[in-house]
Amino acid sequence: MSDPRPSTNHEAPFGEQHIPPGAPMTEPANPQSHKSEGHSRRVFLFKLSLFLNGIVGAVLAVPVLGYLLGPALKKTSSENSWISLGPLSGFPEGETRLVNYRNPVTTEWDGQTGDVPCWVRRVSGETFQVFAINCAHLGCPVRWFSQSHLFLCPCHGGAYYADGSRASGPPERGLFEYDHKIDSGNLMIHAGRMPTLANSAKAEPPPLVQIDAQIDVQIDAQIDSIGSNTTLAATPKPAPRCSSCPS
């Protein structure tokens, strides 16, 4: 760009009609010819060269865009596949355990990032729930607390009940669940893509109302039992209004 001289060399392979994509601006000035003579021809050729480069650009843009958008155009179905989480004996009934699996789609240089954890809850017998590790709010890793039967998220404090339904905090819905099946004594899940609101907002309506009838019944029972068995305040404890009042 800084030296004006050798530009003619670049044009050589293209003959006199210079259409090199890199140097359309340099006119092969011929001092002998009249300035205006052939001007319209050169303007036409310049426009032609622009048009040609436009076509080349369009042709080039197709593969470039295809390459760039490649990951976005893949179907989820091509990335999700059935993965074994191990034999059923590894999951005691009534417990929720952290299980890691290797993502079905990985590269050699993924390292540890190709290992994905998930929470497996064996409700009873062959009834399972498999939850994604990612909080339904913003994808942080939720932790299971077996003592309080809650999943808690460290980022913004999302909380979920044992069955994955929303308990409190910013999540709009319950935990993401993987489809699962039992195949010859192994628990299999259908996974491969990071669950987000865009691809996993499946099935059940968001359980924003968290108290189901079952809990209510239990709570009523508890309140009753507290009332009858102990001296808690469910039954009025007549206290004298003042030191001299009759109780």
Near other proteins in 29-68, by CB under 8 A: none
- Residue count (the chain): 247
Q: Do residues 171 and 137 make contact, with C-beta atoms less than 8 angstroms apart?
A: yes
Q: Binding residue for other proteins (CB under 8 A) from 39, 41, 47, 149? A: 149
Q: Do residues 226 and 234 make contact, with C-beta atoms less than 8 angstroms apart?
A: yes
Under the criterion CB under 8 A, does residue 126 sit at the interface with other proteins?
no
Q: What are phi and psi of 200, to 5 degrees?
A: -125, 10
**Which residue lies nearer to other proteins by CB, 182 or 215?**
215
**Which residue lies nearer to other proteins by CB, 187 or 191?**
191
d(CA 35, CA 29): 9
In angstroms, what is the minimal distance from the CB of 124 to other proteins? 15
Please give the residues from 225 up to 244 whose contact with other proteins meets the rule CB under 8 A: 225-226, 229-230, 232-234, 236, 238, 241
In angstroms, what is the minimal distance from the CB of 125 to other proteins? 20
Binding mask 177-196 for other proteins (x = CB under 8 A): ---------------xxx-x
**Which residue lies nearer to other proteins by CB, 9 or 112?**
112
Q: Binding residue for other proteins (CB under 8 A) from 83, 85, 116, 175? A: 116
Backbone dihedral region of 66: left (phi > 0), alpha (psi from -120 to 50 degrees) or beta? alpha
Strand partners, 120: 97, 130
In angstroms, what is the minimal distance from the CB of 21 to other proteins? 21
In angstroms, what is the minimal distance from the CB of 82 to other proteins? 15
Under the criterion CB under 8 A, does residue 211 sit at the interface with other proteins?
yes
In angstroms, what is the minimal distance from the CB of 178 to other proteins? 13
Under the criterion CB under 8 A, does residue 120 sit at the interface with other proteins?
no
Q: Binding residue for other proteins (CB under 8 A) from 8, 17, 77, 222? A: 222
**Which residue lies nearer to other proteins by CB, 36 or 229?**
229
Backbone dihedral region of 38: left (phi > 0), alpha (psi from -120 to 50 degrees) or beta? left
Please give the residues from 72 up to 101 whose contact with other proteins meets the rule CB under 8 A: 72-74, 76, 79, 98, 100
